[in-house]
Amino acid sequence: MALEDIRNERLAKLARLREAGMDPYPVHAARTHDIARFLENHAALAESGEVVTLDGRIISFREHGGSIFIDIVDGTGKTQGFLKKDTLGDDVFELFLKDADVGDFIELSGIAFTTKRGQPSVEVRSWRMLAKSILPIPDQWYGLKDEDERYRKRYLDILLSGETADRIRRRSKFWNVIRSYLLDRDFVEVETPVLETTTGGAEATPFRTHHNALDIDVYLRISAGELWQKRLMVAGLPKVFEIGRIFRNEGMSAEHAQDYTQLEFYEAYKDYRQGMEMIRDLYRTIADEVYGTRVFTIKDVAIDLGHEWETYDFCALMQEKYGFDPRDVGDYSEAESCALMKKYEPAYDGDERGIGRVVDYLWKKVRKEIAGPGFLIHVPVYLEPLAKKDPNDPRVVERFQVMLAGSEIGKGFSELNDPVDQAERFRHQGELRDAGDEEAQMPDAEYVEALEYGMPPSFGFGVSERLFAFLEGVSIREGQIFPLMRPRG
């Protein structure tokens, strides 16, 4: 039967329910037990003969003469309802038989009993409609195989796929394990602005919008409040974090989305080496509490978070691969710089906009060969405008990135708290922007002013929901509940 014919048929059933005096969308539900609690206490309920009321969606419908067996689910479990014509009476039974469908939300009141096959059930004494479905649910085995359709109708994908529903539960647990980890260590959870006049904390292209009341253009933030949280370090709050949504107007891939959730936290009087110990422990805690294992297969690579974590030297790896030291590119002659730029492919990220972009591009080829788990260190200063220089080699910064299966999954560093150095690095970023690099960071004079009041030495770290997707073994879009889709038509 065509979908429109099914819809018209169900609209007729809706009308018949109303004619029979039954509201197909009542305000109040009278449930006494959710299904999980009903099943847990089934034996005692059956013995007592207590009338119970269960609510849920019909997922199967089987008629046998004067009897109907249905299965209902409510998000906590599944149970069976048994409706008999002799018990309900002809009119009530026939109304259910003719006008109830798989997909409807209904309410059943009756007595707990166990079938001859040993299945806990409820013998229905009365029923009513809670929400009549007008469109049919796709077949559980054959419906919604197309990825685009699954994302557009994610509610049906969740309904039909237990794995998708379970992933949503794990996603919630993932973020709450992180939250609890930090709260247990006396961090304060904060909220920082989503609309900013100057974006900061990352190199990314922002979304721009207009603030009507102030009549100014503003940007959606590209980090979870990095420069705001560091202002809180200035203010004397030694441990802060935010788990929030960020937005980047960039390309889409299995690892990249335009709006996603990210954690950022900052702790005073700690550096990036101490931070490595904390992050290794945090990742293992997530693995233990969310998945019950430290062993994962990520992009066909076996990863054991319980093993010793490696340390990878950015400059050494680049020298080994390409034969040049990325710390010294600023001193290269024009000929040497041009030779290096020939290795760059504009299809990656547009026309080259400076030697730093070329080095970053070449690095992304190298990192594909790093399985991890481990920490990447010794990144050149020109690739990180917000981290402190290494006192042993001021050409690199005190930054690490977590390496898993050829990707960077989390970044931390000793925060730059020298306002003069920070102002100079912002100036350089401004030059890159003026030269056409829209991903270079915007200079933030007000943040530099805050640093001039003094910020303690601090460690900062950020990780996005890409980590969750990696641990799940899915793309970042698959790991999101409702990924952004282009409108049809």
10-residue mean pLDDT profile of the chain (489 residues): values are 92 97 96 97 96 96 93 96 96 96 97 94 97 88 70 90 93 98 98 92 88 95 93 97 94 90 98 97 98 96 96 95 85 62 63 72 91 96 93 96 96 96 91 80 92 97 97 95 88
Q: What is the dihedral of CA 212, 214, 215, 220, to 10 degrees?
A: -70
Give how far Cα 111 sits from Cα of 63, 206, 430, Å.
Answer: 20, 59, 73
Burial bucket for residue 300 (CB in 10 Å: 0-12, 13-18, 19+): exposed
| Beta-sheet pairing, 379-380 with 393-397 | antiparallel
Characterize 132-157 residue by residue with b for buried, 16 or more Cβ atoms within 10 angstroms of its Cβ, and e for exposed: bbbebbbeeeebbeeeeebbbbbebb
Please report the pLDDT score of residue 353 as a whole number.
59
Characterize 242-281 residue by residue with b for buried, 16 or more Cβ atoms within 10 angstroms of its Cβ, and e for exposed: bbbebbbebeeeebebbebbbbbbbbbebbbeebbebbbe
Contact present, 110 and 98 (Cβ < 8 Å): no
Q: How many whole angstroms separate alpha carbon 446 and alpha carbon 18?
A: 64
Please report the pLDDT score of residue 448 as a whole number.
95
User: Residue 329 gets which letter from DSSP?
Assistant: G
Q: What CATH fold (topology level) applies to the domain 3-131?
A: OB fold (Dihydrolipoamide Acetyltransferase, E2P) (2.40.50)
- Angle made by CA atoms 22, 25, 29, in degrees to the nearest 5: 90
3-class secondary structure, 477: helix
Spell out the residues 6+ positions from residue 226 whose beta carbon is closer than 8 angstroms to its own.
200, 201, 202, 264, 386, 460, 462
Q: Where are the domains of the chain?
A: 3-131, 158-309+372-479
- The reply to whether 158-309+372-479 shares the fold of 3-131 is no
Task: List, in sequence order, the alpha helices (H) in 41-100.
Answer: 42-48, 85-88, 90-99
What CATH class does 158-309+372-479 carry? alpha beta
302 alpha carbon, distance to own chain's centre: 22
Contact present, 422 and 448 (Cβ < 8 Å): yes
Least Cα distance to 106 among 151, 150, 68 occurs for 68
Please report the pLDDT score of residue 288 as a whole number.
98
Q: How many whole angstroms separate alpha carbon 415 and alpha carbon 238?
A: 13
Task: Report the interhelical angle of 226-234 vs 445-452 (nearest 10°).
Answer: 20
Residue indicated by tokens 């002013």: 449
Q: Which amino acid is at 360?
A: D
The number of helices, as runs of H, and strands, as runs of E, in the chain is: 18, 21
Least Cα distance to 224 among 188, 255, 199 occurs for 199
Contact present, 239 and 216 (Cβ < 8 Å): no
Contact present, 384 and 413 (Cβ < 8 Å): yes
| Beta-sheet pairing, 374-377 with 310-313 | parallel
Q: How many whole angstroms separate alpha carbon 483 and alpha carbon 257?
A: 8
Q: How many whole angstroms separate alpha carbon 336 and alpha carbon 322?
A: 13
Please report the pLDDT score of residue 442 as a whole number.
86
Q: Which amino acid is at 400?
A: F
Task: List, in sequence order, the alpha helices (H) in 20-64.
Answer: 35-40, 42-48
Strand locations in 321-455 (E): 374-377, 379-380, 389-390, 393-397, 399-404, 407-414
Please report the pLDDT score of residue 339 as a whole number.
65
| φ, ψ at 65 (rounded to 5°) | 60, -115
